[in-house]
């Protein structure tokens, strides 16, 4: 079981520096892919930010959203978030030395709560904290 952070999902469906590597990983992946339902809002936010800042156009938003919804329906298990997960994320964020922002702390807390053994992320701060929490990082 691999917990997938939104940064990987964005790179999978939009042209990013690591898109080719993420696409190769996804094509070869045989593990069950899991994320928190929070990734849906976070993915939509990323699309909106990229549209507002002129990085992509409306057609790219629509194409990425449709591909993402297809993945959620077929390849990605979306887990509900429990109140305890939000609290765990808050505690992780309170540790200023972690450098975690709320969204990344929520992904890490969700991964820890489901006892995921590995994480797929492109975020350096989240990756560092995954290592600290003994989560294996997927090579992307």
Instruction: Give the chain's domain count.
Output: 1
**Containing structural domain, residue 85:** 2-137
Q: What is the pTM assigned to this prediction?
A: 0.93
SS3 content of the chain, % helix, strand, coil (to 5): 60, 10, 25
pLDDT confidence of residue 42:
96
Q: Check which CATH number belongs to the domain holding 125 and give it.
A: 3.40.50.1010
pLDDT confidence of residue 140:
87
- State whether the Cα torsion 134-135-136-137 is positive or negative: negative
Q: Which single residue is written with the structure tokens 């429990």?
A: 82
pLDDT confidence of residue 87:
97
What CA–CA distances, in Å, run from 23 to 10, 27, 101?
A: 11, 6, 26
Q: Which residues pair with 77 in a beta bridge?
A: 34
pLDDT confidence of residue 44:
98
pLDDT confidence of residue 62:
97
- Mean pLDDT in order along the chain per 10 residues (140 residues): 96 95 96 96 97 97 97 96 96 96 96 96 96 93
């Amino acid at each position: 079981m691999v917990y997938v952070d939104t940064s990987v999902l964005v790179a999978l469906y939009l042209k990013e520096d690591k898109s080719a590597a993420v696409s190769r990983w996804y094509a070869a992946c045989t593990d069950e892919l899991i994320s928190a339902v929070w990734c849906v809002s976070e993915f939509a936010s990323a699309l909106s930010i990229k549209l507002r800042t002129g990085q992509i156009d409306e057609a790219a938003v629509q194409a990425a959203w449709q591909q993402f919804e297809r993945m959620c329906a077929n390849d990605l298990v979306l887990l509900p978030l429990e109140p305890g997960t939000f609290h765990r994320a808050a505690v992780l964020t309170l540790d200023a030395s972690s450098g975690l922002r709320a969204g990344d702390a929520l992904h890490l807390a969700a991964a820890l709560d489901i006892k995921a053994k590995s994480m797929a992320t492109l975020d350096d701060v989240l990756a560092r904290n995954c290592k600290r929490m003994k989560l294996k990082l997927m090579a992307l």
